[in-house]
């Protein structure tokens, strides 16, 4: 009996069902394994199972009563039990065996159907392995969502700037290693700001999404990204550059541009594209992007809706303008702007007022005239703040004059599109205390072209304040007469391009006579700009043009040069609210 009892104890120890104290824990162990939130399987090395816990059976929908416990991995694959694996199961098991053969743990995440399973396999003695498995679908998907969001634009779902730069760096390294070329295309939507301003940001967003989808559909093997706003970039890694890049641009013009249906109607979308080639136009991301952008700006300057390749000579001026544009953003904060004043004169009664003219004392380029930077300020919208500063400074200055002379200020069309210009003028008049009838604002017909109804409403409110409104550069536009009919201007200003030719061109003489006659018929004062000679003045006097402006009367200069005329004795402090006021 003792011998028989000892023999049974040895058998039980070999079976693994007893521990040192002789207590049977198999049932307790199986119960504990079944309660684990993990799938646990004990397998032979060929895949034949020895044990599954309950969670494992639920993960794989295994019925242990009918399951073939003698089926190997290869047989499972052959019988189609692993058809929903996203990766090749044979490659997976090959990696598994190689890792376990070295007595290393094997860890992997595999996609099975719509689930992601984290697996940890450990080799045991007696040709066994223990596999623990967890469904990590939600965690991995959440991580992937976060990673996707970090590298994708939330509006269009295109790769963002971070992902684009990463891809660009890799593409350059690969092209360099293979001695190949690649192209980068910098793309802007033409007049996208107008869409936002006129139709609203929701329409603008829909427009961006539609264009992004078209880029995805028609960009072929290139890598598209949205860098911000309406700025897109594509990387073309095709080796036959620049021909492949030009062909890609042509494809985008044909398929991504054109009509887009919106809730507000059909909109026309245009593209402007600049292209730079590696390594011809640069050997790094920064240089290539800068050169593609320079080519893009040239495309815009040359009419939009075109593609331009980078050209060192042609784009040097564009690069200079972009540098100037960057300086422009800081000029207002640094107090680099100043005003010069040019007198306006009544032919009979002398000087009646001054036009305030903006000057930029650039720290590196010296004194700059408006023609060299106003268009840049309008392009990036900073003209709104600059215009507000000019208006306030001119009114503050005029308030110090002992003589109640008028002061004229030019307004940009952009100022009418952003904010409430009439309210701004009202606030400046209240702040400075200048009488409204001493202020004259000058506009060109460009103010009325973009949004006639909005501009007209603003002009009527400004006129109701008691401010005078002049039509500047009259005669060089297309619709000036219709605008005169629509709004009662206070003054017409003949453009200097006509005045300069007086007495030299009969056709010009007749145009000037006609404009003066039109003003007389409408009972509108007419001011001739650019008067530089006594002959021009005599011609205008004969035609009964009562007011003139130009070098013959006085050049633009700091107001101190005209102190005896304005009678300025008590200087008001200059405005300190240049940016935030």
List, for residues 502-551, the tens digit of each pLDDT value: 888 888 889 889 889 888 888 888 999 999 999 999 999 888 888 999 99
Q: Which residue has the higher pLDDT, 163 or 17?
A: 163
Among residues 279, 277, 280, 314, the alpha carbon closest in space to that of 297 is found at 314
d(CA 365, CA 382) in angstroms, rounded, equals 20
d(CA 75, CA 42) in angstroms, rounded, equals 18
Q: What kind of fold does domain 327-488+549-566 have according to CATH?
A: TIM Barrel (3.20.20)
| Domains 36-139 and 327-488+549-566 in one fold | no
Quote the pLDDT of residue 186: 95
List, for residues 245-270, the tens digit of each pLDDT value: 999 999 999 888 888 887 777 888 88
Q: Are the beta carbons of 141 and 109 closer than 8 angstroms?
A: no
pLDDT at 320 over 80: no
Quote the pLDDT of residue 563: 92
CATH architecture entry for 36-139: 2-Layer Sandwich (3.30)
Q: What residues does 189 pair with on adjacent strands?
A: 271
Mean pLDDT of 453-481: 83
d(CA 271, CA 273) in angstroms, rounded, equals 6
pLDDT at 569 over 60: no
d(CA 483, CA 27) in angstroms, rounded, equals 96
List, for residues 283-294, the tens digit of each pLDDT value: 999 999 989 998
Domain ranges of the chain: 36-139, 154-310, 327-488+549-566
Quote the pLDDT of residue 450: 65
Strand pairing report for 439-443 and 547-549: unpaired
Considering the chain, what percentage of its residues have pLDDT values greater than 90? Answer: 40
Q: Which residue has the higher pLDDT, 105 or 486?
A: 105
List, for residues 497-509, the tens digit of each pLDDT value: 888 888 888 888 8
Mean pLDDT of 558-571: 80
Q: Are the beta carbons of 218 and 252 closer than 8 angstroms?
A: yes
d(CA 445, CA 453) in angstroms, rounded, equals 13
d(CA 45, CA 39) in angstroms, rounded, equals 18
pLDDT classification of 576: cutoffs 50, 70, 90: very low
pLDDT at 426 over 90: yes
Least confident piece of the model among 73-77, 433-437, 451-455: 451-455
Quote the pLDDT of residue 577: 37
pLDDT classification of 49: cutoffs 50, 70, 90: confident
What average pLDDT is seen over the chain? 85
Bond into 390 cis (ω within 30):
no
List, for residues 80-92, the tens digit of each pLDDT value: 888 888 889 899 8
Q: Which residue has the higher pLDDT, 158 or 487?
A: 158
Q: Which CATH class is domain 154-310?
A: alpha beta
- Tokens for 352, please give them: 């009646």
Which three-class secondary structure state does DSSP give residue 97?
Answer: helix
Least confident piece of the model among 137-146, 488-497, 569-578: 569-578
Q: Are the beta carbons of 252 and 273 closer than 8 angstroms?
A: yes
pLDDT at 203 over 70: yes
pLDDT classification of 356: cutoffs 50, 70, 90: very high
Mean pLDDT of 117-123: 92
pLDDT at 446 over 80: no
pLDDT classification of 179: cutoffs 50, 70, 90: very high
pLDDT at 222 over 60: yes
Backbone dihedral angles phi then psi of residue 457, each to the nearest 5 degrees: -65, -40
């Amino acid at each position: 009996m003792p011998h028989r009892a000892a023999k049974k104890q040895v058998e039980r120890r070999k079976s693994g069902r007893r521990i040192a104290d002789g207590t049977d824990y198999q049932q307790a162990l199986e119960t504990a394994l079944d309660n684990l939130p993990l799938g646990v399987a004990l397998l032979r090395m060929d895949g034949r199972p020895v044990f599954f816990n309950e969670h494992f059976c639920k993960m794989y929908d295994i019925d242990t009563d009918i399951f073939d416990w003698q089926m190997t991995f290869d047989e499972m694959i052959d019988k189609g039990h692993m058809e929903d694996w996203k990766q090749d199961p044979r490659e997976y098991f090959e990696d598994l065996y190689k890792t376990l053969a070295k007595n290393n743990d094997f860890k992997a995440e595999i996609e099975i159907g719509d689930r992601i399973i984290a697996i940890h396999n450990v080799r045991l003695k007696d040709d066994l392995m223990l596999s623990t498995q967890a469904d990590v679908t939600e965690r991995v998907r959440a991580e992937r969502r976060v990673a996707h969001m970090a590298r994708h634009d939330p509006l269009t779902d295109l790769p963002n700037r971070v992902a684009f730069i990463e891809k660009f760096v890799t593409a350059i390294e690969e092209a360099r290693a293979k001695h190949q070329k690649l192209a980068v295309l910098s793309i802007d939507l033409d007049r996208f700001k107008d869409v936002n301003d006129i139709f609203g940001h929701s329409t603008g967003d829909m427009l961006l999404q539609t264009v992004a989808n078209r880029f995805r559909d028609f960009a072929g093997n290139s890598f598209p990204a949205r860098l911000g706003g309406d700025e897109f970039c594509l990387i073309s890694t095709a080796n036959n550059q620049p021909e492949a890049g030009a062909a890609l641009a042509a494809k985008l013009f044909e398929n991504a541009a054109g009509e887009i249906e919106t809730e507000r109607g059909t909109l026309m979308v245009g593209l402007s594209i600049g292209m730079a080639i590696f390594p011809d136009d640069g050997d790094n991301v920064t240089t290539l992007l800068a050169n593609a952008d320079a080519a893009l700006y040239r495309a815009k300057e040359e009419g939009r809706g075109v593609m331009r390749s980078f050209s060192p000579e042609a784009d040097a001026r564009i690069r200079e303008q972009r540098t100037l544009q960057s300086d422009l953003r800081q000029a207002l904060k640094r107090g680099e702007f100043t005003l010069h004043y040019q007198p306006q004169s009544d032919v009979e009664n002398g000087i009646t007022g001054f036009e305030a003219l903006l000057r930029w004392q650039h720290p590196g380029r010296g004194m700059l005239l408006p023609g060299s930077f106003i268009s840049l300020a309008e392009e990036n919208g900073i003209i709104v703040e600059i215009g507000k500063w000019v208006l306030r400074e001119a009114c503050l200055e005029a308030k110090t004059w002992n003589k109640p002379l008028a002061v004229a200020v030019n307004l940009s069309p952009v100022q009418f599109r952003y904010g409430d210009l009439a309210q701004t003028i009202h606030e400046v008049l209240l702040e400075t205390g200048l009488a409204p009838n001493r202020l004259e604002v000058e506009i060109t017909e460009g103010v009325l072209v973009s949004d006639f109804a909005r501009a007209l409403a603003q002009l009527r409110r400004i006129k109701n304040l008691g401010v005078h409104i002049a039509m500047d550069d009259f005669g060089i536009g297309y619709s000036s007469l219709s605008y005169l009919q629509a709004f009662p201007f206070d003054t017409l200003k003949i453009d200097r391009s006509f005045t300069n030719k007086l007495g030299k061109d009969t056709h010009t003489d007749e145009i000037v006579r006609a404009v003066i006659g039109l003003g007389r018929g409408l009972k509108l004062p007419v001011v001739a700009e650019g008067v530089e000679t006594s002959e021009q003045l005599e011609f205008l006097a004969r035609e009964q043009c009562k007011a003139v402006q130009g070098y013959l009367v006085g050049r633009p200069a700091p107001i101190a040069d005209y102190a005896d005329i304005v009678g300025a004795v008590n200087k008001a402090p200059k405005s300190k609210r240049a940016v935030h006021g």
